[in-house]
Amino acid sequence: MNFATRKLIFALLIVSLYPLSLFARPYVLVLSQDDLLNTPNSPDDSPPADSTQNDSPEWDEFGDSGSPQSEEELDPGSWRPIFEPDPFRPDPANNPDERYYSTVSKLIKSVSSGDTTLMDDAVSEIEESASRGLPHARSVLGFLYATGQMRKQNKAKAFTYNYFASEGGNMQSKMALAYTYFRQDMFDKAVKLYSELAEAAVNSFLISKDSPVIEPVRIHNGAEENKEALRKSRGEEDEDFQILEYQAQKGNSAAMYKIGLFYYFGLRGLRRDHAKALSWFLKALEKGEPRAMELLGEIYARGAGVERNYTKALEWLTLAAKQELYSAYNGMGYLYVKGYGVEKKNYTKAKEYFEKAAENEDAGGHYNLGVMYLKGIGVKRDVKIACKYFIVAANAGQPKAFYQLGKMFHTGVGLKKNLPRATVLYKLVAERGPWNSLSRWALESYLKGDMGKAFFLYSRMAELGYEVAQSNAAWILDKYGERSMCIGESGFCTDAERHQRAHSLWWQASEQGNEHAALLIGDAYYYGQGTERDYERAAEAYKHARTQSNAQAMFNLGYMHEHGQGLPLDLHLAKRYYDQALEIDPAAKLPVTLALTSLWIRKNYADGFLVHVIDSLPEVYPKVEEWVDNVILEEGNATILTLFVCLLTVLYLRERQRRHAVAAPGGMAVPHHPNEHVAPAPL
């Protein structure tokens, strides 16, 4: 089949593992024929390699031939030892970074307790360590200067500290730098950093079975928390988990397998524990749960909690494949392409296993076939076919495929060089790196009611460019106020500092496509909250949210056109926006109906009594979301609004009666048409 002659138009979509309302909007990238390079493969492209020889290009996509790197190695300076202590950690007295961890622990304790004196001491210690050249201390100091905590906010100093921390190997500072360049559209610099971060991220992914990525959870859903969904992130304290654990202890094999998954991947608020995962998988297998075989193969291939043993890995994966667990074929193909646990490399067998996995809609199979065609391993090199497989894998949520597509856009191999697209794709993968554990600790703190610690951790993630963390930090500031333990230049934030910081965080989130953030930015400018009132900038923010088909933004724009606030007075455009709001969200029927009633009155009685009444009522038209959440869903409020409409009707009828009474004093007012001749009243 000649894939080069086909028109390739695919949508790339990140598949979330939780309801989309809890996370950032999925990123969608459409590739058309224009994105593809139509040049044939170069003459020196690799010919088909012998299926049993070792002289073909190496499967060196991420340098995975050596021992796997731990998350601590991939994320040096991580705060993991503070939040997830390891009993087998080396003696602190012999650890050169122990003072750094001790200081960061003191810093976190201070924001949790609200002890500004303790925080000042911790920041001074961090400054002293940074002056001695410790990269990780420089990274923390850059974060404090960027946010203005216990030191005057200074973006130049923040950049400098992050730059030298990045040069010293701190990956989180590298994330902060990359995001800084990204915001300024400096894609030539951003793409280089994000490519390095994305490569480190994929090194932490699993071999055959793609691991569920721990997405940063959005702790607000519009204006209210999604408490039921958040409850499921409480780990071992969650009632559902306790019921599942009880069932497992009673011998339920499916429950044993699920608990093993939770511990292996660190899902549902549980900490990763490979030893517990292995124990539960073995118990599940004894009870006849075949799905455990595939994970046991993965565990032995990775050496996760056990000594690495490729022979055992192949045995378990083979048994799993016989049970029609098709992603196991992908793992088997990987072992053959690397020559692990088998007599020698065999690309023909590897390709067969990858194809079996792909035929059964396994994203890893599509991805690995793409690698074979991209590198010419066991097949004739064909970047167009490789691109086709990567797109299918990416559409199924395979993060490594996003990395490869980003690389193709970056280098101009197979796809036309496009640095902005490459940067975005790399960023998506980079945000799945080990530093993503910050979201787990922040959520744990939030669920335990420790707002100071939660806000501090979300602020750290926000600096690294995570949109969900930016939204969460801003939301905590807005909802919890002083309880957020927001630290300013010299102690707790003033109201002005808190509003300004929330405004800055919402603005960053809106830049990354968060329509709720764009609406709040519009509200801030409209009402002058945390900034000067500016109707024109409010309208710009609402227009940004409108581009994402947001009914609330359309309603607000209609209101501004109706009243000539920041936008030209235009009743026709106002009606169009109101109608669009109703088309997008039927739940907006009540506020839109009231708005259209107001428009009708304004058109027909421009200088009438009712128009003045309407204009004098403050906040007549709340935002659509507030109407839906706080009005429509409450029967009592809906009744009040119905009475309000009735009141307007009564006022209208009484005003009409008054005017007619004035027109015909001493008698009944007689309705008449404007052009109808009216006899003068008798003297």
Domain boundaries, the chain: 71-86+93-204, 220-434
From residue 561, how far is each of 94, 431, 565, 575 by CA, in Å?
68, 40, 7, 9
Distance (Å, whole) CA 283 – CA 286: 5
Q: In 450-489, which positions are buried (b, 16+ CB within 10 angstroms) versus exposed (e)?
A: bbbbbbbbbbbbbbbbbbbbbbbbbbbbbbbeeebbbbbe
Residue 569 Cα to chain centre, angstroms: 38
Distance (Å, whole) CA 328 – CA 336: 13
Lowest mean pLDDT among 198-207, 430-439, 543-552, 646-655: 646-655
Residue whose pair of structure tokens reads 């599509």 in the numeric block: 366
Specify the long-range contacts of residues 594-600, CB closer than 8 Å, at least 24 apart: 594/620, 594/621, 594/641, 594/645, 595/555, 595/558, 595/559, 595/562, 595/621, 597/645, 597/648, 598/562, 599/562, 599/571, 599/574, 599/575
Residue whose pair of structure tokens reads 């990858």 in the numeric block: 354
Report DSSP state, residue 620.
Answer: S
**CATH top-level class of 71-86+93-204:** mainly alpha
Give 478-506 pLDDT, tens digit per residue.
889 999 999 998 889 998 899 889 989 99
Residues 505 and 473: beta-carbon distance below 8 Å: yes
**193 membership: H or E segment, kind and range:** helix 187-202
Lowest mean pLDDT among 32-36, 117-121, 553-557, 636-640: 636-640
Residues 520 and 582: beta-carbon distance below 8 Å: no
Q: What is the pLDDT of residue 648?
A: 56
Domain 71-86+93-204 shares a fold with domain 220-434: yes
Q: What is the pLDDT of residue 12?
A: 31
Helices then strands (H, E): number in the chain?
32, 4
Distance (Å, whole) CA 36 – CA 417: 10
Count Cα neighbours of 313 within 13 Å in the Cβ-side half-sphere: 27
From residue 335, how far is each of 56, 64, 131, 534 by CA, in Å?
16, 12, 48, 62
Helix (H, G, I), strand (E, B) or coil at 13: strand
Q: Is the pLDDT of residue 72 over 50?
A: yes
Give 159-176 pLDDT, tens digit per residue.
999 999 999 999 999 999
Distance (Å, whole) CA 375 – CA 58: 8
Distance (Å, whole) CA 574 – CA 144: 45
Q: Is the pLDDT of residue 206 over 60?
A: no
Q: What is the pLDDT of residue 645?
A: 56
Q: Backbone phi, then psi, for 208, in 5-degree steps?
A: -105, -45
Residue 663 Cα to chain centre, angstroms: 65
Which pair of tokens denotes residue 516? 């709720």
Residues 76 and 169: beta-carbon distance below 8 Å: yes
Q: What is the pLDDT of residue 89?
A: 58
Distance (Å, whole) CA 229 – CA 233: 7
Q: What is the pLDDT confidence band of residue 634, given thresholds at 50, 70 and 90?
A: very low
- Torsion from C-alpha of 496, 501, 504, 505, nearest 10 degrees: -140
* R_g of the chain, CA atoms, integer Å: 31
Distance (Å, whole) CA 242 – CA 510: 39
Close Cβ partners of 59 (under 8 Å, ≥ 6 residues apart): 65, 337, 338, 371, 375, 377
Angle between helical axes of 399-411 and 187-202 (0-180°, round to 10):
150
* Beta strand 10-13 pairing with 28-31: antiparallel
Residues 413 and 386: beta-carbon distance below 8 Å: no
Average pLDDT, integer, range 396-424: 92
Which is more confident, 160 or 675?
A: 160
* Residue of 469, 501, 475 whose CA lies nearest to 488: 501
Percent of the chain with pLDDT over 90: 39
Q: How confident is the prediction for the chain on average, in pLDDT?
A: 79
Q: Is the pLDDT of residue 263 over 60?
A: yes
Residue 290 Cα to chain centre, angstroms: 34
Q: What is the pLDDT confidence band of residue 208, given thresholds at 50, 70 and 90?
A: very low
Q: What is the pLDDT of residue 175?
A: 97
Average pLDDT, integer, range 106-124: 93
Average pLDDT, integer, range 19-31: 42
* Beta strand 28-31 pairing with 487-488: unpaired
* Residue of 200, 203, 201 whose CA lies nearest to 65: 203
Q: Backbone phi, then psi, for 30, in 5-degree steps?
A: -105, 125
Q: What is the pLDDT of residue 514?
A: 85
Q: What is the pLDDT of residue 600?
A: 82
Q: What is the pLDDT of residue 192?
A: 97
**492 membership: H or E segment, kind and range:** strand 491-492
Average pLDDT, integer, range 252-279: 87
Helix (H, G, I), strand (E, B) or coil at 81: helix
Q: What is the pLDDT of residue 350?
A: 93
Residue whose pair of structure tokens reads 């961090």 in the numeric block: 126
Average pLDDT, integer, range 653-668: 47
End-to-end CA distance of the chain: 100
Lowest mean pLDDT among 492-496, 565-569, 632-636: 632-636
- Torsion from C-alpha of 320, 322, 323, 327, nearest 10 degrees: 50
Close Cβ partners of 523 (under 8 Å, ≥ 6 residues apart): 529, 538, 623
Q: What is the pLDDT of residue 544?
A: 80
Beta bridge partners of 497: none
Q: Is the pLDDT of residue 224 over 60?
A: no
Query: Does domain 220-434 fall into CATH 3.40.50.300?
Result: no
Q: What is the pLDDT confidence band of residue 376, given thresholds at 50, 70 and 90?
A: very high
Distance (Å, whole) CA 472 – CA 251: 40
The secondary structure of 363-376 as a DSSP string is HHHHHHHHHHHHHT
Q: What is the pLDDT of residue 47?
A: 40
For the beta carbon of residue 420, count every other beta carbon within 10 angstroms. 13
Q: What is the pLDDT of residue 551?
A: 85
Lowest mean pLDDT among 409-413, 639-643, 645-649: 639-643
Lowest mean pLDDT among 431-435, 470-474, 609-613, 649-653: 649-653
Angle between helical axes of 274-286 and 291-302 (0-180°, round to 10):
140
Which pair of tokens denotes residue 638? 């809906």
Which pair of tokens denotes residue 660? 């007619």
Q: What is the pLDDT of residue 213?
A: 53
